[in-house]
Amino acid sequence: MKGALISESLRKHAEKDMKKSAQVFKKMQKSRLIALLTPKSKNECLRAYEILRPFGVILEIAFRSEFAVDGLKAILKKFPEALVLAGTVMTPQQAESAIKAGAAGVVSADYIPDVVKICVENDIMCIPGGLSDVGKQLVQKAESYGCSLGELQLKYPYQWVYKLFPAFAGEVSNIDLFQSWKGPYKGLAVVYTGGVTLDTLREAVKKDPQGIFCASALTKHLAQPELMKKETKKWKETLKSEPPQPEKQVRAKKMEKTQAPRVVTFGELMVRLSSPPGVRLQQAQNLDLRFGGAEANVTISLARFGLEAAFVTALPENDLGANALDVLRQNGVDTHFIIRKGKRIGIYYLEHGSGPRPSKVIYDRANSAFSEIRPADLDWERILENSHWFHWTGITPALSDSAAASLRKGLEVARKKRITVSADLNFRRKLWSEAKAGEVMTGLMAYVDILFANEEDPTRVFGLRPRKTDVVAGKLDIEDYREIAKELVKRFGFKKVAVSLRQSISASENIWSACLFNGKNFYKSPKHRVWIVDRVGTGDAFAAGVIFSLLKGRTDQQALYFGVAAACLKHSIYGDFNLASEEEVERVAAGVTSGRVQR
């Protein structure tokens, strides 16, 4: 009964203040400045509001202060129409007290479902914060209102909002994350807070001219009203400045004028024969026929994302070769540079793992058409004309000396044409030894700008051993990979090193993440728990996601997040190819992983 009385009391306050959320949201969009105050008395709240009011700057009172409720009440007593936000609300109890005190909206430092629930029940604007849960909180809001995401944006625009926190952390800027959010969530209002100063504001407003910025720096001179007014004017003037056109947009326009292909990859496409899930190869009565191969997997992902992607390989003049060619074309790949020669296509047999039983691969690719390819077979000058990117993996030089020589010739031409080159180490112990891999790959690294690897490749190929990591036990230490990435950049001069990190709980369940080092900053992605339908090609999906993002002009952190999201989705798709769309990847990158039916 007591709970019902509290709920009814909150409902009455919400009905009284229902329009406040809409009003404060419009004011936020107009002013674009929120001043955060952690009060030491209720009078500080009143004083701050009085100073900020003429400037149209919204006051947010941190509810970690014991004076927050009384301060909010004091403001509303003197200014009944005041629109004030309750900040740092971390519990449903704080949310209830904020709503009862008359807050126009509730702001949290994290996504806290119980806080969102209280706010939506009372139709009060709720602004959760963080770096990765934007989708989750929007989905919860829509479900609580009993509507779709589209209806949420139209009917409750003041709930179509999220707080990017921290916007700045030391030398690291997270500002660019908003672009990955506004892809799947068009029109999302983003509040940037954490590390926002007058200096960082200048950088932030150039990247997001519509951004809303919240800072405690706006109230640091509260004891000196005239100085606080002077500082507030500077912040307002900074927001009025017209930002220059971002460099990435200029690059994108230049790229639009160039001709295809934009990305070229080089490697072997194989027939994949797999036994049904749960059936071992030694007992199989039938096998499923598909196609796959590391470089081809990357090419198909890029083509499906909308880039112009060409695949260079050799296929035999028979029905299997024709079938493979048709599959590539069906997925939008440019096949003009595929040569037809040789007697057979490479094959690999796959047994799907489950639980404690790992997956198993058997190769039958000796004397395949691709392994017999020669440098004279390929006109790299023509192949790489008008290209922006060339991608290959360590599997290609492992297949034969002639394949390695053909690759080197392509790399030399790419270097001459100043084309970005990426390589995935992709060590396969069934193809060559660690010693041979180290020798050959070391000689090819001088041509590489961006290196991809998994958690074991740097050890197998270059002897770089993590100190605290136990891959077999599924224990990965991120600091180990920070040091390994730094050493790789130091040793070979790479522009970037991206390492995918798989923690194996079993063959059916993994934890997937990745990290990236660009010679200055080290980024790590959120961890994703994945339940595996087919893990083959997940590393290729990661590489494709990063390449696609970088070619689109996104930041390193955005590229990392997109690549990880692409790989997570690939775990759920049968076959080598990642058949996820850009929009689907963007949703996972933004934190929508509930898997609810899309109707």
Catalytic residues, by residue number, are: 540
Rounded CA gap, 325 and 311, in Å?
10
CA contacts within 13 A on the Cβ side of 569: 28
CB count within 10 Å of CB 417 equals 15
Closest CA to 84 of 63, 98, 104: 104
Closest CA to 281 of 210, 218, 352, 376: 352
Q: Output the six-digit token pair for 511.
A: 């934890």
Per DSSP, helices labelled H in 102-207 are: 113-121, 134-145, 149-155, 177-182, 198-207
Contact of 388 with 255, CB cutoff 8 Å: yes
Close Cβ partners of 439 (under 8 Å, ≥ 6 residues apart) = none
Q: In b/e form, how buried is each residue of 11-46, taking b as 16+ CB within 10 angstroms?
A: eebbeebeebbebbbebbeebbbbbbbbbeebebbb
Q: Output the six-digit token pair for 581.
A: 């769309």
Q: Which long-range contacts (CB under 8 A, 24 or more apart) does 431-434 make?
A: 431/363, 431/395, 431/398, 431/399, 432/398, 434/460, 434/461
Of the chain, the end-to-end C-alpha distance in Å amounts to 39
Q: In b/e form, how buried is each residue of 493-517, taking b as 16+ CB within 10 angstroms?
A: ebebbbbbbbbbeebbebebbbbbb
CA 96 to chain centre: 34
Contact of 562 with 549, CB cutoff 8 Å: yes
Rounded CA gap, 269 and 321, in Å?
10
The answer to whether the bond into 246 is cis (omega within 30° of 0) is no
Close Cβ partners of 124 (under 8 Å, ≥ 6 residues apart) = 14, 17, 21, 99, 103, 104, 105, 106
Which residues is 360 bridged to in the sheet? 351
Task: Indicate the helix (H) or strand (E) that contains 326.
Answer: helix 319-330
